[in-house]
């Protein structure tokens, strides 16, 4: 972790709560293990690496269970008396952390299942692939637990750097271009963020979020501007990760250039990691500036959902990769919805409800159904027009896809998608952001147009096979790879169960997530 946690006086050895840090740690250790193991495994056993990674992620998920009280913290600063100051820790495993770690690790698990046949079919280097995926997941799992700016930046980079490589791993021109685009824009954002962090440190004298929050109101007058600029620049960095406007243009090209499994991973895990960082910095660190960034984030949310939906509407269904491109634009729009409760948190609602819970709950719902939709795309791929007649050919896959799309649209029978939107709307109405709620309502309707158009295609009759040379499904394509089935089944079952018992996920919204 960071050296900042070491105390200035007294013993240089501090006790580490290994159990609290287990989820990211296990993931990281398995990542290294896979990388080393690849060297010694004979080629025919290479597919085992994938299952080892999945097992590692499952183990990391299990390690969340003993932490469920949400009271653990480690790497804490010392107070003057030498006791650990529980309010200024670098790593906190509260409910916010645990829920997001659950989402990130489960998302990575599904993405790993999705990757198995990609790794084989595209003959990607297995050791590298699994190592990169797990490293990125470890970073993403660390991020929600981090409570100081240095750890946050490190975690964000651990989550992003392997992702660039993952995008570029398919060694064709497209992958390279996509990776470069992703890399350059991301690095710029990181540089801007680091500048912001240094400004904030200069103005407040601390990197710990709680101490920054305490120091901001007391900052010297000549440093006030510096602190504000620093806060804005820091938030910009995280906004990039969530693909908020105007940092969204890399999304479609990157998603289409990357293997579908990686695109799925980026759209859920990377986005959620960025979002949790944004929420932490804004809500915990820059709390005194709530009104300012609340308004900024509200505008950002409105722009993000509107532009994302507008671009998705313009996406033609007959161009190559249109399915992934549409999901990419839709994920931009969904990021807009996810930002709404964070913006609402800036306004500090009068009720005891924490608006942030709505973001987390919506993120979980979005994660499940979006990964499910990507799983179907991984199965069929290609253009949206190729989905015509899917119901006749593969009823189960078509029904699952229809369910996922309707969940994303928020329309029954996708009940859980509907209630996800309801909690977001409630957060906005609760904190007086009525205008944002209306914009979001209009956006939800606009988005329905393309989701429903795709859903309707699933049930249309299949076009008559035009030419024998057309890429019609060869005999083997009718068999769905086992890991893919598993991923699809998990996502569908979770979605259906949540539709009948929304309380399972919505209970997050009823209390405060911190402490």
Partner 1 sequence: MNVILIVLLLLPLVGAAVTLVPGLFGADPAVAGRRALRFGAAVTGAALLASVVLAVGFDRGHSARMQATTDLSWIPALGVRFHLGVDGISLPLLLLTTLLTFLCAVYSLRRLPDGPGTPSPRAYTGLLLLLETGMLSTFAVLDLLLFFLAFEVVLIPMYFLIARWGGENRGPAAARFILYTLLGSAIMLLGFLLLGLHAGTFDMTALAHRHGRGLSHTTQILVILSIGLGLAVKAPMWPFHSWLPDAHTAAPTTGSVLLAGVLLKMGTYGFVRVLLPSAPGGMATLAPYLAAFAVVGILYGSLACLALVRPGAKGDLKRLIAYSSVGHMGFVLLGIATLTPTGVNGALFANIAHGLITGLLFFLVGALKDRYGSVDLDRLTASAGGTGAALYGRAPRLGGLLAFAAVASLGLPGLAGFWGELLAMFGSFHPAAGLSRSAYLVFMALAGLGTLLTAGYLLGVVRRVCMGDPAAPAEPSAEPRPSSAGPAPLPSSGLLDVQAHEAAAWTPLVVLTLVAGLWPAVLLGLSNPAVKALLGGS
List interacting residues with partner 1 (CB under 8 A): 395, 399, 406, 411-413, 415, 418-419, 422-423, 425-426, 429-430, 434, 437-438, 441-442, 444-445, 448-449, 452-453, 456, 459-461, 502-503, 506-510
Q: Which is nearer to partner 1, 288 or 413 (CB)?
A: 413
Cβ neighbours for 456, distance < 8 A, ≥ 6 positions apart? none
User: How far, in Å, CA of 408 to CA of 68, rounded?
Assistant: 29
Q: Name the percent of the chain in helix, strand, coil, to the closest 5.
A: 75, 5, 20
Classified as helix, coil or strand, 75 is: strand
Q: Which is nearer to partner 1, 348 or 434 (CB)?
A: 434
Which among 114, 113, 115, 105 is positioned nearest to 143, based on CA atoms? 105
Minimum distance, C-beta of residue 366 to partner 1, in the bound complex (Å): 17
Q: Which is nearer to partner 1, 249 or 459 (CB)?
A: 459
Phi, psi for residue 75 in degrees, rounded to 5: 55, 55
User: How far, in Å, CA of 149 to CA of 154, rounded?
Assistant: 9
Q: Which is nearer to partner 1, 201 or 514 (CB)?
A: 514
Minimum distance, C-beta of residue 350 to partner 1, in the bound complex (Å): 10
User: How far, in Å, CA of 398 to CA of 387, rounded?
Assistant: 8
Q: Which is nearer to partner 1, 179 or 340 (CB)?
A: 340
Classified as helix, coil or strand, 305 is: helix
Minimum distance, C-beta of residue 278 to partner 1, in the bound complex (Å): 23
Query: To 5 degrees, how large is the angle CA 301–CA 166–CA 239?
Result: 20
Which among 57, 61, 74, 68 is positioned nearest to 18, based on CA atoms? 74
Minimum distance, C-beta of residue 462 to partner 1, in the bound complex (Å): 11
User: How far, in Å, CA of 366 to CA of 404, rounded?
Assistant: 9
Minimum distance, C-beta of residue 478 to partner 1, in the bound complex (Å): 15
Q: Which is nearer to partner 1, 58 or 452 (CB)?
A: 452
Q: Which is nearer to partner 1, 56 or 355 (CB)?
A: 355
Judge whether 334 and 370 are in contact, CB under 8 Å. Answer: yes
Minimum distance, C-beta of residue 299 to partner 1, in the bound complex (Å): 19
Minimum distance, C-beta of residue 440 to partner 1, in the bound complex (Å): 8
Which among 26, 276, 64, 269 is positioned nearest to 162, based on CA atoms? 269
Q: Which is nearer to partner 1, 11 or 507 (CB)?
A: 507
Which among 335, 329, 291, 300 is positioned nearest to 312, based on CA atoms? 329
Q: Which is nearer to partner 1, 151 or 509 (CB)?
A: 509
Minimum distance, C-beta of residue 71 to partner 1, in the bound complex (Å): 22
User: How far, in Å, CA of 449 to CA of 314, rounded?
Assistant: 11
Minimum distance, C-beta of residue 84 to partner 1, in the bound complex (Å): 34
User: How far, in Å, CA of 162 to CA of 455, rounded?
Assistant: 34
């Amino acid at each position: 972790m960071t050296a900042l946690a070491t105390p200035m006086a007294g013993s240089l050895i501090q006790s580490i709560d290994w159990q609290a840090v287990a989820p990211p740690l296990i993931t990281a250790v398995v990542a290294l293990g896979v990388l080393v193991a690849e060297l010694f495994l004979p080629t025919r056993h290479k597919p085992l690496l994938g299952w080892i990674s999945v097992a590692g992620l499952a183990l990391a998920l299990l390690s969340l269970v003993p932490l469920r009280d949400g009271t653990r913290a480690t790497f804490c600063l010392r107070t003057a008396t030498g006791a650990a100051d529980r309010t200024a820790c670098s790593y906190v495993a509260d409910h916010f952390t645990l829920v997001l770690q659950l989402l990130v690790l489960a998302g990575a698990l599904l993405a790993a299942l999705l990757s198995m046949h990609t790794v084989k079919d595209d003959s990607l280097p297995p050791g590298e692939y699994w190592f990169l995926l797990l490293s990125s997941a470890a970073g993403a799992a660390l991020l929600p637990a981090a409570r100081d700016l240095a750890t946050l930046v490190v975690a964000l980079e651990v989550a992003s750097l392997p992702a660039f490589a993952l995008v570029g791993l398919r060694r064709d021109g497209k992958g390279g271009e996509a990776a470069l685009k992703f890399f350059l824009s991301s690095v710029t954002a990181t540089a801007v963020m680091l500048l912001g962090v240094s400004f904030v440190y200069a103005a407040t004298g601390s990197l710990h979020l709680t101490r920054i929050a305490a120091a901001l109101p007391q900052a010297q007058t000549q440093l006030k501007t510096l602190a504000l600029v620093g806060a804005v620049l820091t938030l910009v960095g995280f906004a990039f990760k969530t693909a908020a406007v105007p940092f969204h243009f890399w999304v479609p090209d990157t998603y289409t250039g990357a293997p579908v499994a990686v695109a799925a991973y980026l759209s859920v895990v990377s986005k959620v990691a960025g979002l949790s960082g944004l929420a932490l910095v804004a809500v915990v660190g820059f709390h005194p500036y709530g009104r300012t960034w609340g308004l900024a984030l509200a505008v950002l949310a409105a722009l993000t959902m509107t532009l994302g939906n507008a671009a998705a509407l313009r996406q033609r269904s007959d161009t190559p990769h249109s399915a992934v491109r549409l999901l990419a634009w839709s994920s931009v729009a969904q990021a807009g919805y996810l930002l709404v409760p964070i913006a609402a948190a800036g306004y500090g609602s009068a009720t005891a409800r924490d608006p942030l819970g709505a973001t987390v709950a919506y993120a979980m719902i979005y994660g499940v159904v979006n990964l499910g939709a990507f799983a179907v795309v991984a199965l069929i791929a290609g253009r949206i027009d190729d989905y015509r007649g899917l119901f006749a050919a593969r009823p189960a896959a078509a029904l699952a896809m229809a369910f996922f799309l309707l969940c994303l649209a928020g329309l029954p029978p996708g009940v859980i998608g509907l209630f996800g939107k309801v909690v977001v709307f409630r957060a906005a109405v609760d904190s007086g952001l009525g205008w944002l709620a209306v914009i979001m309502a209009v956006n939800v309707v606009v988005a329905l147009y393309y989701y429903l158009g795709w859903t309707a295609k699933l049930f249309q009759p299949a076009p008559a096979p035009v030419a024998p040379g057309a890429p019609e499904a060869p005999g083997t394509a009718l068999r769905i790879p086992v890991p893919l089935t598993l991923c699809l089944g998990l996502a569908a079952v979770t979605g259906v169960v949540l539709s009948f018992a929304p309380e399972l996920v919505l209970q997050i919204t009823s209390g405060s997530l911190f402490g």
